[in-house]
Amino acid sequence: MLGWGHRGKNALFCLMIIALVSVSTTNSQAELTPKDITALQERAAAEGWTFEVGENDATKYSLDQLCGFKMPDNWQELAPITKFSTTAELPSTYDWRDLTGLPPVRNQGGCGSCWAFSTVGALECAIRIKDGVDVNLSEQWLVSCNTNGWGCNGGFFAHDYHEWKTDPCNDFGAVLETDFPYTATDAACNCPYPHPYTIENWAYIGNSYSVPSVDAIKQAIMEYGPVSVAVYANSAMQAYNGGIFNGCESAGTNHAVVLVGWDDNQGTNGVWFMRNSWGAGWGEDGGYMRIGYGCSRIGEGACYIDYGPLGPMVMQDDLVVDDGAGDGNGRPDPGETGIEILVTLTNFGQDALGLTITATASDPEIVFSNATSSLGDVLRWEQTDNTADPIAFAVDSEFPPTIVQFELTYSANGGDYTKVETFDVNVGQPQFFIVDDDQDNSGNYEQYYTAGPYADRIPFVVWGKDSLGTPPADTMAAYPYTIWFTGDHRLDVLSSADVTALTDFLDGGGRLFLTGQDIAADLSDDADSTFLVNYLHARFAAGDPLIMTNGVAGDPITDGHLVAISGSGGAANQSSPDIIVPVDTHASTIYTYYGSSDVAGVRVTDGDYRLVFLPWGFEGVADDLGYTTRAEIFGPIIDWLSITGTTYVCGDVNSDLAVNPVDVVLLVNFVYKGGDPPAIVNSGDVNTDCAVNPVDVVFMVNFVYKGVGTLLPGCVE
Q: Name the residues annotated as catalytic.
A: 114, 255, 276
CA–CA distance, 247 with 78 (Å, rounded to integer): 34
The answer to whether 95 and 273 have CB atoms below 8 angstroms apart is yes
* Pairing, β 201-204 against β 300-306: antiparallel
How does DSSP assign 270-318, residue by residue? -EEEEE-SB-TTSTBTTTEEEEETTGGGTTEEEEEEE-S-----EEEEE
CA–CA distance, 348 with 355 (Å, rounded to integer): 14
CA distances from 709 to 269, 417, 664, 706 (A): 86, 72, 15, 9
Taking the CB of residue 692, how many other CB atoms lie within 10 A of it?
A: 23
The answer to whether 672 and 636 have CB atoms below 8 angstroms apart is no
* Pairing, β 562-564 against β 548-551: antiparallel
Taking Cα atoms as reference points, which of 404, 635, 353, 393 lies closest to residue 513? 635
CA–CA distance, 656 with 662 (Å, rounded to integer): 10
Tell me: cis bond preceding 192? Omega within 30 of 0 counts: yes
H or E segment at 578? strand 578-582
CA–CA distance, 680 with 154 (Å, rounded to integer): 82
Q: Which residues, other chains included, contact 145 with Cβ-Cβ below 8 Å and sequence gap of 6+?
A: 161, 167, 168, 169, 189, 191, 193
- CA 200 to chain centroid: 36
Q: Output the furthest CA–CA distance in the chain (Å, rounded).
A: 108
CA distances from 176 to 123, 173, 193 (A): 12, 10, 9
